[in-house]
């Protein structure tokens, strides 16, 4: 049954990304994995619940990856590099989650929407703190801590839109080069 | 009638951004501006045509703004700065167009899809050339011309997602600071 719930979520993610949340029905999701409507409702409460689970899990993974990337690393420059690498790697790998996360935030109802927005604010704040710490330590030089951290976050969003495994760059190439680019944005010495 | 067509497009853009292309009907678009179905079809051929017009016009405007930004300016650094400023300004102002443009590319049918992708490739190529010109002139230093130009383009996409007039930054602040950030990405001296 654990596997089944994962299958349902994966099917929902694919359908939400292909046709949008509004145009997807629970029957579509069931049909994609060969489960009838009534059976489907044994596993998930509603389409809204599925969307909330997908978006909350996406933010939780980003937050965990961020923590893992910077924990045990003291150097402010390396912390920003690692956090950016984790950010870009997630967005290269989880393009559908990023796409649906951006596109369907309006489709989330409360309290789910507030829960996702709270996690996003926490994630943004993590990057802002990394930039601010570097400025404070006189290692970074920026016009605005907030805009610089937004620009670094933008890089991940962009990667989720254009990156393809079949393209000119491997995931590692994008990850490492974008890590360097984040340090440029921060004016790292 | 010219005004009417503009109204129809604006209503379609809003609805596509709110509920997605698939979930929007021509009747919804008509209802939004008080025109009945049959009347609507006097002005536009189909929902697909509306989407194609919106996305093609978006790319045409971006391409025109890009040309206007760099024409008559010879300095490679200033050319990249101005092109980025135009890019970011468009994305701060035309957030719905950017949003629908990213989200609904899959909903476009041929030959519209190829027409939009051709314009996008041209737009991307413009930025790639600006970065390459700067490298050639020994004014920029980058690990990869292509990835650097992608990263600069990512900045605009990001702005279209997070920018709000009611937020902490004016459009000009974002535009000018992001212009500076693009030069940092390019390793401009």
- CATH, residue B142: 1.10.357.10
Q: Which residue in A21, A13, A166 sits closest to A104, CA to CA?
A: A21
**pLDDT at A19 (0 to 100):** 85
In this structure, the answer to whether residues A17 and A79 fall within a common structural domain is no
| pLDDT tens, residue by residue, B108-122 | 999 999 999 999 999
**pLDDT at B1 (0 to 100):** 52
Are B20 and A18 inside 8 Å of each other by CB?
no
| pLDDT tens, residue by residue, A22-69 | 889 999 999 999 888 778 888 888 999 999 999 999 999 999 999 999
Residues on B contacting A at a C-beta cutoff of 8 Å? 18-23, 99, 102-103, 106, 143-144, 146-148, 150-151, 153-155, 157-159, 161-162, 168-169, 173-174, 177-178, 180-181, 184-185, 187
Q: Which residue in B49, B59, B103, B81 sits closest to A18, CA to CA?
A: B103
Nearest to A20 among B23, B158, B159 (CB): B23
- The token duo for B105 is 């590319």
Give the DSSP letter of residue B68. Answer: H
In this structure, the answer to whether residues A39 and A127 fall within a common structural domain is no
**pLDDT at B39 (0 to 100):** 82
- CATH, residue A20: 1.10.10
A1 pLDDT more than 60: no
| pLDDT tens, residue by residue, A104-143 | 888 999 999 999 999 999 999 999 999 999 999 999 999 9
Give the DSSP letter of residue B115. Answer: H
In this structure, the answer to whether residues B4 and B35 fall within a common structural domain is yes
In this structure, the answer to whether residues B157 and B75 fall within a common structural domain is yes
B181 pLDDT more than 60: yes
The secondary structure element, H or E, covering residue A85 is helix A76-93
In this structure, the answer to whether residues A11 and A73 fall within a common structural domain is no
**pLDDT at A27 (0 to 100):** 92
Q: For residue B133, count other CB atoms closer than 10 A to its CB.
A: 16
Best of A141, A143, A150 to substitute, by most chain B Cβ atoms within 10 angstroms, is: A150
Confidence class for position B67, pLDDT limits 50, 70, 90:
very high
B2 pLDDT more than 70: no
Nearest to B157 among A23, A143, A154 (CB): A154
**pLDDT at B152 (0 to 100):** 97
| pLDDT tens, residue by residue, B89-108 | 999 999 999 989 988 888 99
CA distances from B168 to A32, B15, B44, B164 (A): 44, 28, 40, 8
Are A22 and B19 inside 8 Å of each other by CB?
yes
Task: Report the number of distinct structural domains present in chain A.
Answer: 2
Question: Among residues of chain A, what percentage have pLDDT more than 90?
Answer: 80
Q: Which residue in A18, A11, A16, A6 sits closest to A32, CA to CA?
A: A11
In this structure, the answer to whether residues A66 and A106 fall within a common structural domain is yes
Place of tokens 């000119």: A168
Task: Tell me the average pLDDT across B162-185.
Answer: 96
Measure in Å the smallest separation between the Cα of A111 and chain B Cα atoms. 20
Best of A156, A181, A185 to substitute, by most chain B Cβ atoms within 10 angstroms, is: A181
**pLDDT at B34 (0 to 100):** 87
In this structure, the answer to whether residues B65 and B32 fall within a common structural domain is no
- Alpha carbons within 13 angstroms on the beta-carbon side of residue B20 total 22
Give the least confident one: A89-98, B12-21, B30-39, B120-129: B30-39
Q: What's the whole-number average pLDDT of chain A?
A: 93
Spatial CB neighbours of B151, under 8 Å, sequence gap ≥ 6 = A155, A158, A178, A181, B185
Are A161 and B161 inside 8 Å of each other by CB?
no
Residue-number span of the structural domain to which B77 is assigned: 47-185
Spatial CB neighbours of A11, under 8 Å, sequence gap ≥ 6 = A29, A32, A33
A2 or B90, which is more confident: B90
Q: Which residues of B touch A14 (CB under 8 A)?
A: none
In this structure, the answer to whether residues B101 and B178 fall within a common structural domain is yes
| pLDDT tens, residue by residue, B18-31 | 888 988 999 999 99
Are A20 and B18 inside 8 Å of each other by CB?
no
- DSSP reduced 3-state for A67: helix
- The token duo for B82 is 């101005």
In this structure, the answer to whether residues B62 and B25 fall within a common structural domain is no
In this structure, the answer to whether residues A39 and A62 fall within a common structural domain is no
């Amino acid at each position: 049954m654990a596997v089944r719930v994962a299958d349902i979520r994966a099917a929902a993610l694919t359908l939400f990304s292909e046709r949008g949340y509004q145009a997807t029905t629970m029957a579509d999701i069931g049909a994609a994995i060969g489960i009838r409507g009534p059976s489907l409702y044994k596993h998930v409460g509603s389409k809204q619940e599925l969307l909330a689970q997908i978006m909350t899990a996406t933010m939780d993974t980003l937050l965990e990856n961020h923590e893992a990337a910077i924990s045990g690393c003291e150097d402010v420059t390396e912390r920003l590099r690692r956090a950016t690498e984790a950010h870009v790697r997630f967005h290269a790998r989880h393009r559908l989650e990023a796409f649906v996360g951006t596109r369907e935030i309006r489709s989330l109802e409360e309290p789910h929407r507030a829960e996702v927005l709270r996690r996003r604010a926490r994630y943004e704040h993590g990057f802002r703190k990394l930039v601010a710490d570097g400025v404070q330590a006189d290692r970074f030089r920026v016009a605005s801590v907030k805009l610089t951290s937004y620009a670094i976050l933008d890089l991940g969003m962009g990667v989720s839109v254009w990156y393809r495994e079949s393209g000119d760059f491997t995931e590692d190439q994008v990850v490492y080069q974008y890590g360097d680019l984040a340090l440029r944005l921060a004016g790292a010495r």
